[in-house]
Structure 1
Amino acid sequence: MLLNLLRTAFPDAELPHSYEESKSLEWGLDINYHKIHACPNDCILFWKENANLNECPTCKASRWVPNTHKASLIPQKVLRHFPLKPRLQRLFMTANIAREMRWHKEQRPIDESSMRHPADAESWKRFDEDHSWFTQDARNVRLGLASDDFNPFNNMAKPYSIWPVILVSYNLPPWLCMKDQFFMTSLIIPGPKYAGNDIDVYLQPLVDELLEFWEQGVPMYDASTKETFMLHAALMWTINDFPAYGILSGWSTKARLACPSCNEGTDSNWLKYGRKHCYMGHHHFLPSDHMWQKRKNLFNGKEDHRIQPSVLEGSDILAQLLMLGDVQFGKSHRKRKRTVEELNWTKYSIFFKLPYWVTLRLRHNLDVMHIEKNIFNNILCTLMNITGKIKDNINSRCDLEILGFRKELHLKYDGERVTMPQALISGLKSHDCHVFMQRLLPIAVGGILRTDIALALIELCTFFKGLCARTLDVYQISQFEIDIATILCKLEMIFPPSFFDIMVHLAVHLPREAILGGPVQYREHYEKCRVHIPNCIDQTHRTEFPNWLKKRVQDQRITNPLGVTGDLYALACGPERWVASYTACVINGKRFHMKQRELRRRTQNSGVVVTGDENTNNVDFYGVINEIIELHYMGWRRVYLFMCDWFDVIRDKGYELITI
Structure 2
Amino acid sequence: MEIRKDLHPFEKGNRRYELPPASYNLTHDEKKAMCESLRGIRVPSRFSSNIKKLVSMKDLSLCGYNCHDCHVLLTVFLPIAIRVIKPVYVKMVITRLCYFFNKISQKVINEDELNDLQEFIGETMAQLEMCFPPGYFDITEHLMIHMVDQICALGPLYLHEMWMYECFMSILNRYVLNRAYPEGSMIKGYSTEEVIECCLGYLNDKVSIGLPVPRFFGRLEGVGTIGRKTFIDKDFKGVQQAHYSILQHLTIMTPLVNEHLSMICAECNGRSDDWIMREHKRRLTAWLKDMDLPDGDTLEEQTIKRLTTSPSSQVTSWQGYDINGYLFYTAAKGKKTVSQNSGVCIEALDERTSESTTYYGVIDDIWEIHYGYNIQIPVFRCRWVKHPGGVEVDAYGLTIVDLNNVGYKDDPWVLASQVAEVLYVADPAKKAKHVVVPGKQDIIGVDGINDVEDYNQYNKMNLFTDLPQKMNIIEANLRKDDKPWARKDGELRIVTA
Superposition TM-score tier, normalisation by shorter sequence: under 0.3
What is the TM-score when the length of structure 2 is the normalising length?
Answer: 0.27
- Flag the structure with larger Rg: 1
What is the TM-score when the length of structure 1 is the normalising length?
Answer: 0.22
Which protein, 1 or 2, shows the higher relative CO under an 8 Å CA cutoff with sep ≥ 6? 2
